[in-house]
Structure 1
Amino acid sequence: MSNYTTEPTTLADASVSATSRLLQVSGLTKSFDNSSTPIFSDVSFSIFASQSVALIGSNGAGKSTLLRCCLRLIEPDAGSIVLDGETIDKKSGRHLSKARNKVGFVFQKHCLVPRLSALSNVLHGNLAYSQGPRNWLQGLAKQDARERAMDCLKQVGLAHLANKRCDQLSGGQSQRVAVARALMQQPSILFADEPTASLDPQSAQEIMELFKGLVKNQGLTLFFVSHNIEHALKYADRVLGLQERKLSLDSATHTQSLQSLRAFYG
């Protein structure tokens, strides 16, 4: 294992107001199978509005687990989580679900309904706020919801494929639909767990360029897991790194290089 570490540095300074902090994690710890050795322990960081933050680390370091623990999709063993100003540590049931609605989640696998159209799949993002069949099929949807779903498809460049079945789309197009579905939630922050891992290099770059445009043009806040350190450097303002069960890197990307991030994995 490399001894390369960078002291965690919060990018919050006197000019950054507390209201811009969308995610604050303190002392997060997680173990599996009653193991005495945690996957990670005492992880603390904050993410601020309109930031793009990459989370890197070796295979098995716990990146995806940490991402899910931040929403309690996986229950942490210890620690505190404040999401968009709301502490979610002890929330459960519909109160926890309501808090999670503020977060759009894009997975490595697109998790679309193959036989339904792109537009119907995007409408599913509205289920976070309104249950029922009107948010399952485009033909049943209310006009305002359908128009909003079309706008989300337009944002990802797929309005012309709104009526195409998702099993007829390419991998890159499917991931764009998944992004549009997350945008349908009108999230305050977007989580993406290795969103390009299943894509070819060209499609992967297009997805990351899409995220970049959403951050730059719409002020979207992005927190993404990636094995691709070039993506971390190019598309993130900040890079967090898990190593030896600790958050041992928290740095502005302009202070890092391919060489320094490769050394982090050494």
Structure 2
Amino acid sequence: MLIEERLEKEKKIIEENKSVTIESLAETLGVSKDTIRRDLMKLEKKNVIRRIHGGAVLASKEALILNYSERANQENTIKEKIAEKTAKLVKDHSSVIFDSSTTVEAVIPKLNGKSLKGITNSLTHAILLSKNERTSVSVLPGKLNNKQLFLYGADTVDKIRQYSVDYTLLGVFAISEKGLFIHTEEEGVVKRAMVQRGNKIIALADHSKIDTTGYFKICSLDEIDILVTDKMPELKFVESLAQNNVDIVVTEE
């Protein structure tokens, strides 16, 4: 079997199974484990797969990491629909923690007219919130991430712990049956603190974020109350949400 032919077969097997072990690939293709290891290195360089201990997973299982401007421009129509649904869930005369995600940012203009106490670690969100005359804005302290434009660190987390709010709006980087994830610990610990201080946690995630993972776990599914998304997820994940008492709101009618 030619190398390219074998690589193509390996790629197809991983795509069909989402993940695979070196041992199972070696047995299926009738080659040594060392050969499979070398093949996986080639596929990883092509960004087809991501190697893990003892095997590999599809590269797409790891949610994409984008800077602020890329995130702000991504799937704007979907974000707007999710934002509209989310804004309807937030009652007038409420206190709300807004995380630094661009999906949460899209919610802010749709809350205009409501009397709110807003707390955020995002400079851009704070500016948007200030445009609503009926909203008071508290900006959390901390170190500034120059690319993502959010504040983070021990001071940020300590300040969050002083609040007890009606809602936490949480933009989701990655979500699966195992919980909610983010790609950096520095942002993850801030989001985790935000989850702990909200009476009702509303998570916002388009369909591309579902059944993906990240480096740092923010919380388990049972720590959120509502998931707002644009498409109905696969049945297995919907069942996991129900088992963890998470309501799902879908923008598609």
Shared fold (TM-score, shorter chain, > 0.5): no
TM-score (norm 1): 0.30
Pick the structure with more helix per residue.
2
Larger radius of gyration: 2
TM-score (norm 2): 0.31
Q: Tell me: higher relative CO, structure 1 or 2? Use CA pairs within 8 A at least 6 residues apart.
A: 1
